[in-house]
Chains A and B, each alone.
Chain A
Amino acid sequence: MSAALAIVAAGFVLALALGLYARSGREMGLEQWTVGGRGFGTAFVFLLMAGEIYTTFTFLGGSGIAYGKGGPAYYILCYTTLAYVTSYWLLPPVWAYAKRHGLYTQPDFFARKYDSPALGMLVALVGIVALVPYMVLQFKGLGIIVSTASYGAISPAVAVWIGAAAVTAYVVVSGVHGSAWTAVLKDISILGVVVFLGLYLPLHYYGGYEALFRAIETERPGFLALPEHGQSPVWFSTTVLLTALGAFMWPHTFASLYTAKDPRAFRRNAAILPLYQLINLFVFMVGFVAVLQVPGLTGPDVDLALFKLSLQSFPPWFVGVIGATGVLTALVPGSMILISGATLIANNLVRPLRPSQDDAATARLCKALVPVIALVCVGFALSGGDTIVQLLLMGYNFVTQLFPCFLASLMRRNPLDRRAAAAGIVAGMATVAVTSLSGLSLSKLAFLGPLQDVNVGVAALAVNLIVTAAVARLPAAQPRPRAAG
């Protein structure tokens, strides 16, 4: 076993120990296990929210897209920032409503607002479909880390299995409390590692940032800006907008709102979290240094850029430290995703069909479902060939379809009824599914001109809005308090 692998393994063990420690002395009922008893203060909510957004995606995907695409990578800096701006107004009312009605999950919110358990089941399905690519990308990241840290002794496929087993064990042991404690550890280590890499590597190889960028500009002119076609400014703008709207529509992010003690935590975070975004800048630097130092990675291999460069630049023990940090960045969001997925199925798909099921039985079912979901995601992780960023964008296309009826439900008089909400979601999801399965993209439709580069998720959102509006105008099946339209 290499020194690197030993350190990565130690990271796993430490995380597991923290999970066990966080659990000690608490009765793990459904509310404790899923929403931490709604007792987390500003600091923990901050860490959980940051914890979900700073994932393997930031670490490997962020450097990978900077390496593979250049300028388009900048979208990562922007979308979460805009999401935090909207969170200032959107999150406190959701939190208050969830607390008043004792909600556990995202579909609970929709089901209650629209007074329709069936809509809740639909939202749960959307959430599960979207969580799968998100979980797959965490597993892919874990696979890359473990196999790199072993210097090739462990194949990526075996590494994915090891990573999945570790995340599952971790979640079953500790629930959401473990996530919060590991988030503390993870944030400190990712901050340290990424800032160090982002400062050291450009200095070491080029002597400074400007020299680095000039070298890339000489070699590949225009790589550091957006291209004219494809990922053009139109793509950039629509992608940032889409992902900003979708950021809080993820079931696990939505559920983490419920862990807060006080809604002011969200407002304060709206001012602090954008600065935290700047960590991405250091991640980009790593990817950009790799462009000329470890050239030749293509397709899904761009996600290896950070590790290839690290192997070439550092001794094994430090590769191990980077790997252990990477493990933590997959573990925190991975555990949140598994908890959310399991809760969605147990509480929002199975429970409405089995009214006799009580909280205790739901909690037991949740824990039993965790390994099942993990297995399904391992299957996808081993079969697919997409990069981490592609997977994430696909998930965003799905969850953003929930945004219109979410926003409407926060209005004082909701203009939509359950049929309009459901019709819009189904239409949007169908559009995303058809376009991603058939590989159809707007860029093949020449008559659209510059609109060819619009993110396909935005097109789906437009279909969603049109259908929602059309159904909302249909005469109501039962009398409603207000005329339609």
Chain B
Amino acid sequence: MQSIRWLAALPFLGMLVGPFFLNRVEPYILGLPLLLAWLVACVVGTAAVMAVIYVADPENRRPEDRR
């Protein structure tokens, strides 16, 4: 599915736009200041998004990729 690719926009939104709204120290989430906790969540989310894209990409299912 081509549209799954657009998931890749989420990390950009989270990291580039998020800090404008979440630029605070408190409350602490899992012991981390709010802004740091948000960015860590974005990093983990990015890995998940890219894993989904990898699995959904037909390019990676061919036995030998020789493009």
CB pair B31–A277 under 8 Å, yes or no, is: no
Interface residues of A in 75-109 (CB under 8 A from B): 77-78, 81-82, 84-85, 88, 92, 96
In the bound complex, residues from chain A placing their C-beta under 8 Å from that of B25 are 213, 217, 221-225
CB pair B50–A85 under 8 Å, yes or no, is: yes
How far, in whole Å, are A224 and B37 apart by their CA atoms in the complex?
Answer: 11
Smallest Cβ-Cβ distance to A96: which chain B residue: B67
Q: Is the interface of A mostly helix, strand, loop or mixed?
A: helix
24 contacts between A and B (CB under 8 A): A71-B33, A78-B42, A81-B42, A88-B54, A214-B28, A217-B33, A223-B25, A224-B25, A224-B36, A226-B19, A237-B16, A240-B15, A263-B67, A264-B60, A267-B57, A267-B59, A267-B60, A270-B50, A271-B47, A274-B44, A274-B46, A274-B50, A278-B40, A284-B36
User: What is A's interface to B at a CB cutoff of 8 Å?
Assistant: 71, 74, 77-78, 81-82, 84-85, 88, 92, 96, 208-210, 213-214, 217, 221-226, 233, 236-237, 240-241, 262-264, 267-268, 270-272, 274-275, 277-278, 281, 284
For A237, give its contact among B17, B35, B67 (CB under 8 Å). B17
**CB contact under 8 A between A81 and B31, given known A226-B23, A241-B16, A275-B44:** no
CB pair B11–A82 under 8 Å, yes or no, is: yes
Nearest Cβ on chain A to B1's Cβ, whole angstroms: 15
How far, in whole Å, are A336 and B44 apart by their CA atoms in the complex?
Answer: 29
How far, in whole Å, are A263 and B65 apart by their CA atoms in the complex?
Answer: 7
CB pair B35–A71 under 8 Å, yes or no, is: yes
CB pair B26–A217 under 8 Å, yes or no, is: yes
For B31, give its contact among A77, A208, A223, A271 (CB under 8 Å). A208
How far, in whole Å, are A262 and B63 apart by their CA atoms in the complex?
Answer: 12
- For B1-37 the 0/1 string (1 means CB < 8 A from A) is 0000000100110011101100111101001111110
Smallest Cβ-Cβ distance to B51: which chain A residue: A271
A77-B39, A85-B8, A221-B25 are known; give 18 further A-B pairs, CB within 8 A.
Answer: A71-B23, A71-B36, A77-B40, A81-B15, A82-B46, A85-B11, A210-B28, A213-B33, A233-B23, A237-B16, A240-B15, A264-B65, A267-B54, A267-B59, A271-B53, A274-B43, A278-B44, A284-B36
Nearest Cβ on chain A to B9's Cβ, whole angstroms: 9
Nearest Cβ on chain A to B45's Cβ, whole angstroms: 9
How far, in whole Å, are A217 and B36 apart by their CA atoms in the complex?
Answer: 14
CB pair B33–A225 under 8 Å, yes or no, is: yes
In the bound complex, residues from chain B placing their C-beta under 8 Å from that of A262 are 65
**CB contact under 8 A between A85 and B60, given known A225-B33, A268-B54:** no
How far, in whole Å, are A226 and B59 apart by their CA atoms in the complex?
Answer: 41
Smallest Cβ-Cβ distance to A211: which chain B residue: B31
In the bound complex, residues from chain A placing their C-beta under 8 Å from that of B53 are 88, 271
